[in-house]
Amino acid sequence: MDDAIFVIGNPAAGGGRGAKVLEDVIRRTSSRGNVVVCVTRGPGDETRLANRALARGASALIAVGGDGTWSKVAAALLESERRPPLALIAAGTGNDFAKTVGAPARDIERTLELVDSRETRSVDAGKVDDRFFLVCCGFGFDTAVLQRMQSVRGLRGSARYVYAALRELPAYRGIEVSLAGGADADGPSDAPRRLLLLVIANAQHYGGTFRIAPNAKLNDGLLDAIALAPLGTLARAGLLLSATGGAHVSSPAVTEYQQPCFDVKFATPPVYNLDGDLFQAKSRTLRVECLPGALEIFAPAAA
């Protein structure tokens, strides 16, 4: 099937919301003879199914889920010599990448129209520790928040992240890190310092609620590093609140850098957040780099 469109759906996305959205996608594409639907059954299936779709000659991929699902499907594309465009249909918690790229991910019909018209945007991706990301790589406070989220019950979506973040605010002590960004005189030095949070972002939005890197662009070949200094509990809460609109970057407690790559060093190999999933680093030093124009995403050209 030279023109086959493969739908890769994660029914577990968004606390089960993915199953309902996937049903809707199947209903709306059932009359098309060139659509193949693949459903994940466990963690990591997205990449395996995407690789299978590429091997079968997929002309386009449609990923139904959230940032984690989209990132895992994108990983298969980024490891492949042939990279058909990717469409995003939102069923996750934050769906942050779609906000920055301007994809109508909550509108299934509009997304299918973009696939039919082949309207795409070239976007950057990120790489760290032989893994890929679309939104960001995070260290420190956000890893503690994601770990706490695993025990939160009764809340869904962005409310779950915000609740876990508020619970961590008074307790989290920070992380010792040094950040270097090449030979640019205006870039960060490699002197170690204690930070509340370090986010190296490809996209602007993060955590479903926060505009963590308001100056990030998906087509500039750069990553945006946002470093938050440790503060008292009330000051942390204020900074967190201002981050919902991106105003936190004007605070003296926040430093912001734009570079094509960063070298990040820690006392011990850290746990880090990659598009909502936690990973254990292989070493104390990580290189986080931008992959310029690495993907084609179905989105309005003027987004």
What's the CATH number where 243 sits? 2.60.200.40
Same domain, 152 and 76: no
| Total structural domains within the chain | 2
Least confident residue range of 70-79, 98-107, 137-146, 286-295: 137-146
Same domain, 87 and 142: no
Same domain, 270 and 176: yes
Rg (CA), the chain: 19
CA–CA separation, 210 and 77 (whole Å): 27
Q: How far is CA 250 from CA 95, 102, 204, 233, in A?
A: 25, 25, 15, 19
Residue 186 pLDDT level (bands cut at 50, 70, 90):
low
Short-list 263, 261, 257, CA closest to 281: 263
- 29: Cβ–Cβ under 8 A, 6 or more apart, which residues? 5, 7, 35, 37, 112
- The pLDDT assigned to 185 comes to 44
Same domain, 137 and 277: yes
Overall average pLDDT of the 174-200 stretch = 80
Overall average pLDDT of the 270-279 stretch = 93
CA–CA separation, 237 and 168 (whole Å): 10
Residue 182 has pLDDT above 60, yes or no: no
Among the candidates 59, 85, 118, a domain finishes at: 118
Residue 160 has pLDDT above 80, yes or no: no
CA–CA separation, 207 and 162 (whole Å): 8
Tokens of 36: 């193949």
Rounded to two decimals, the pTM is: 0.91
The pLDDT tens digits of the residues spanning 209-218 come to: 899 999 999 9
Overall average pLDDT of the 81-110 stretch = 95
Q: Residue 168, by phi and psi: left (phi above 0), alpha (psi -120 to 50) or beta?
A: alpha
In a domain? residue 296: no
Overall average pLDDT of the 179-192 stretch = 68
- 81: Cβ–Cβ under 8 A, 6 or more apart, which residues? none
CA–CA separation, 253 and 226 (whole Å): 10
Same domain, 178 and 271: yes
Residue span of the structural domain in which 235 resides: 133-291
Overall average pLDDT of the 179-186 stretch = 64
Element housing 112 (H / E): helix 108-117
In a domain? residue 303: no
Residue given tokens 């990580």 in the structure block: 286
- 300: Cβ–Cβ under 8 A, 6 or more apart, which residues? 102, 104, 114, 119, 121
Short-list 29, 295, 271, 26, CA closest to 150: 271
Residue 14 has pLDDT above 90, yes or no: no
Same domain, 43 and 153: no
Same domain, 19 and 81: yes
Short-list 216, 225, 221, CA closest to 188: 225
CA–CA separation, 78 and 213 (whole Å): 23
CATH number at residue 86: 3.40.50.10330
In a domain? residue 232: yes
